[in-house]
């Protein structure tokens, strides 16, 4: 083959290999893309299915500016244990030390073993709730109350937030145990269905100004006067301070040309977007100012006289609680106090009470305010100590029992018996034959005693002989053991020498 043709075929083969590699790479890339799309589609479908099929419905209710209540709603299973995983979305975090448990079980208080625990995340924006009981958890109309807990801002700025289901390390949002079957159910299909955002925020306060134009909580307007609704109110907010009345919306109309009672509504939002409203009554009346009497001021002075007011230091928070004033129609109006005084310091203070109605009629009353020193409450005496119990007398020791006397030896016993017999008086007998018989009996007795003593001695000798015969047996066992050990050593050495020789 020519070199040129060989070179061309080599180049063509190399190109074909490169082309094949590109085809394979393209096919692999296509497979990856298709797989990714399929997985993404499945995940999307799963998430959509989970959001549309919520098994556990979480409800979060705002109780106060920084306090919420957590509960489960529309919950049908009867359960005896529960685990929830929650998190905060937004500029807020949980306060671990503020939790107040509301959950209860149907067990008697004396036998209830209900246990609760909360585990906070490091950033305090997530928490896991654990509830365990041997009896079913209390459920009212499908609602299980869990707890109340305070929240606080996580950083400076608006505090809008929501409490949502979280997924813990085990991949679960909730887990509970059914009471009847002890079957455990867990999942991630728990959600807070409310889309309302919560805030750590105090609502603004709309209030009527301290004005002669207000009486009994109503705005009083003379027939034919111009009515400016915003001039009668003021708005304050804990976070925003004073809010301009220009931010207030007024709905409702007042016709000052027609005597009657009207209702208007004030509405305002603070910087957090929280709204507050005030429904206010407006009265349009026709009164001849020349016929209106000045206000009447009344003091609740406990019979001290018209110009005196007596209080005890530290007992009254607001002096105006003891003073009232009414206008020409008997409606309560505001009272102002002129002069300096201190309700927490004993002494006498001269002050002036001033009340003015909407027509400009004014009443003034000078009084002496007496602040009496609070009586000293004696300390409670110390309770006497409880007497101590007397010591119990100790029990006397039991006397030792006397020891048993030693048994007499055989030899001494014989001697004693002989002595006792020899000391006994003999019975006199008049015949010699009788004496012979007695002597013979004595000899027989002596012979018998001799025989008995010999028998005892023989018994002792035999016992010692048996012991002496048994002692050598131990030596024989050791001897035979040594012989066996030596024989085993010789046989082992022979086997070792034979084996070594064969190897050579």
User: Residue 437: its pLDDT value, please?
Assistant: 42
* All CATH 2.60.40.10 domain ranges in the chain, comma separated: 205-286, 296-372
Could you tell me the pLDDT band of residue 104, with boundaries at 50, 70 and 90? very high
Strand order in the sheet with 308-312: 308-312, 362-372, 347-356, 335-338
What is the H or E stretch that residue 152 is in? strand 144-152
Tens of pLDDT, residue by residue over 316-370, are 889 999 999 999 989 999 999 999 999 999 999 999 999 999 999 999 999 999 9
Q: How far is CA 278 from the centre of its chain?
A: 41
Tens of pLDDT, residue by residue over 222-252, are 999 999 999 999 999 988 899 999 999 999 9
Q: Are the C-beta atoms of 311 and 370 separated by less than 8 Å?
A: yes
First to last CA, the chain: 69
Tens of pLDDT, residue by residue over 246-274, are 999 999 999 999 999 999 999 999 988 88
CA distance 102 to 139: 11
User: Residue 16: its pLDDT value, please?
Assistant: 52
| Average pLDDT over every residue of 377-381 | 77
310: its two tokens: 């007596």
| Average pLDDT over every residue of 288-313 | 84
Q: Are the C-beta atoms of 146 and 60 separated by less than 8 Å?
A: no
Least confident range of 55-59, 102-106, 424-428: 424-428
User: Residue 490: its pLDDT value, please?
Assistant: 79
User: Residue 9: its pLDDT value, please?
Assistant: 52
CA distance 50 to 52: 5
What superfamily would CATH give domain 296-372? Answer: Immunoglobulins (2.60.40.10)
Helix (H, G, I), strand (E, B) or coil at 189: coil
Could you tell me the pLDDT band of residue 395, with boundaries at 50, 70 and 90? confident
Other CB atoms closer than 10 Å to residue 9's CB: what's the count?
Answer: 11
Q: What sign for the dihedral angle of Cα 36, 38, 39, 45? A: positive
What is the H or E stretch that residue 5 is in? helix 3-52
For 410-456, list the strands marked E by DSSP. Answer: none
Sequence-separated (6 or more) residues with CB below 8 Å from residue 69 = 60, 61, 63, 102, 145, 147, 148
CA distance 223 to 74: 56
CA distance 153 to 499: 92
CA distance 104 to 323: 49
Helix (H, G, I), strand (E, B) or coil at 497: helix
C-alpha distances (whole Å) from 341 to each of 135, 163, 178 are 62, 50, 67
Q: How far is CA 476 from the centre of its chain?
A: 80
Helix (H, G, I), strand (E, B) or coil at 64: strand
Other CB atoms closer than 10 Å to residue 484's CB: what's the count?
Answer: 10
> What is the DSSP-derived secondary structure letter of residue 457?
H
Beta bridge partners of 309: 369
Q: How far is CA 415 from the centre of its chain?
A: 93
Helix (H, G, I), strand (E, B) or coil at 482: helix
Which range of 5-14, 19-28, 166-175, 411-420 scores highest in mean pLDDT? It is: 166-175
User: Residue 431: its pLDDT value, please?
Assistant: 42
Q: How far is CA 329 from the centre of its chain?
A: 59
Is residue 456 scored above 60 in pLDDT? Answer: no
| β-strand pairing of 190-192 with 56-64 | parallel
User: Residue 440: its pLDDT value, please?
Assistant: 43
Sequence-separated (6 or more) residues with CB below 8 Å from residue 497 = none
Which range of 308-317, 331-340, 430-439 scores highest in mean pLDDT? It is: 331-340
Mean pLDDT across the chain: 78
User: Residue 432: its pLDDT value, please?
Assistant: 41
* All CATH 2.60.40.680 domain ranges in the chain, comma separated: 52-192
User: Residue 31: its pLDDT value, please?
Assistant: 46
Q: What sign for the dihedral angle of Cα 417, 423, 425, 429? A: positive
For 50-143, list the strands marked E by DSSP. Answer: 56-64, 67-73, 79-90, 93-94, 100-101, 115-120, 126-132
CA distance 191 to 74: 12
User: Residue 190: its pLDDT value, please?
Assistant: 94
If we measure between CA atoms, which residue out of 154, 213, 159 comes closest to residue 334?
Answer: 213
Q: Are the C-beta atoms of 271 and 293 separated by less than 8 Å?
A: no
Q: Directed axis angle between helix 472-503 and helix 432-470, to 10°?
A: 10
Could you tell me the pLDDT band of residue 82, with boundaries at 50, 70 and 90? very high
What superfamily would CATH give domain 205-286? Answer: Immunoglobulins (2.60.40.10)
User: Residue 37: its pLDDT value, please?
Assistant: 43
In angstroms, how far apart are the furthest CA atoms of the chain? Answer: 177
Q: What sign for the dihedral angle of Cα 310, 316, 319, 323? A: negative
| Average pLDDT over every residue of 450-471 | 41
User: Residue 303: its pLDDT value, please?
Assistant: 65
Other CB atoms closer than 10 Å to residue 398's CB: what's the count?
Answer: 6
Residue with the bigger pLDDT between 31 and 248: it is: 248
User: Residue 476: its pLDDT value, please?
Assistant: 55
What's the CATH number of domain 52-192, 3.40.50.720, 3.40.50.1000, 2.60.40.680, 3.20.20.70?
A: 2.60.40.680
- Range list of H helices, 326-431: 410-423
């Amino acid at each position: 083959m020519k070199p040129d043709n060989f070179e061309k075929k080599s180049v063509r083969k190399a190109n074909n290999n490169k082309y094949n590699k590109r085809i394979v790479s393209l096919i692999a890339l296509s497979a990856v893309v298709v797989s990714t799309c399929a997985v993404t589609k499945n995940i999307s479908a799963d998430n959509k299915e989970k959001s549309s099929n919520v098994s556990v419905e979480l409800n979060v209710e705002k109780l106060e500016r920084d306090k919420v209540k957590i509960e489960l709603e529309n919950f049908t299973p009867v359960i005896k244990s529960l685990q929830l995983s929650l998190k905060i979305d937004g500029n807020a975090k949980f306060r671990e030390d503020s939790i107040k448990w509301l959950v209860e079980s149907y067990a008697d208080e004396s036998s209830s073993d209900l246990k609760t625990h909360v585990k906070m995340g490091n950033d305090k924006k997530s928490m896991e709730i654990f509830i365990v009981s041997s009896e079913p958890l209390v459920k009212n109309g499908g609602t299980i109350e869990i707890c109340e807990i305070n929240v606080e801002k996580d950083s400076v700025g608006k505090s809008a937030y929501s409490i949502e289901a979280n997924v813990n390390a085990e991949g679960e949002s909730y887990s509970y145990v059914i009471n009847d079957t002890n079957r455990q159910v867990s999942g991630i299909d728990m959600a807070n269905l409310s889309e309302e955002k919560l805030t750590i925020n105090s609502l603004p306060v709309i209030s009527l100004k301290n004005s002669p134009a207000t009486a009994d909580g109503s705005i009083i307007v003379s027939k034919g006067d111009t009515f400016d609704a915003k001039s009668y109110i003021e708005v304050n907010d804990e976070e925003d301070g004073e809010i301009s009345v220009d931010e207030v919306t007024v709905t409702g109309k007042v016709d000052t040309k027609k005597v009657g009672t009207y209702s208007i509504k004030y509405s305002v939002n603070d910087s957090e977007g929280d709204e507050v409203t005030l429904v206010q009554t407006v009265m349009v009346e026709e009164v001849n100012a020349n016929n209106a009497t000045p206000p009447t001021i009344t003091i609740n002075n406990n019979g001290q006289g018209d110009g005196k007011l007596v209080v005890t230091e530290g007992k009254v928070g607001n002096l105006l609680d003891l003073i009232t004033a009414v206008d020409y129609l008997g409606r309560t109006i505001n009272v102002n106090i002129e002069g300096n005084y201190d309700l927490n310091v004993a002494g006498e203070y001269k002050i002036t009470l001033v009340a003015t109605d909407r027509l400009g009629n004014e009443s003034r009353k000078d009084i002496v305010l007496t602040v009496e020193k609070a009586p000293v409450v004696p300390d409670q005496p110390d309770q006497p100590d409880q007497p101590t119990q007397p010591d119990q007398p100790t029990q006397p020791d039991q006397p030792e029992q006397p020891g048993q006397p030693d048994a007499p030896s055989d030899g001494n016993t014989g001697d004693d018996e002989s002595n006792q017999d020899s000391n006994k008086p003999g019975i006199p007998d008049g015949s010699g034959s009788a004496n012979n018989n007695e002597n013979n009996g004595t000899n027989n007795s002596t012979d018998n005693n001799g025989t008995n003593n010999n028998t005892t001695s023989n018994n002792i000798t035999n016992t010692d002989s048996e012991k002496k015969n048994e002692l050598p047996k131990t030596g024989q066992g050791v001897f035979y053991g040594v012989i066996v050990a030596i024989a085993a050593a010789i046989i082992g050495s022979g086997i070792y020498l034979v084996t070594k020789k064969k190897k050579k």
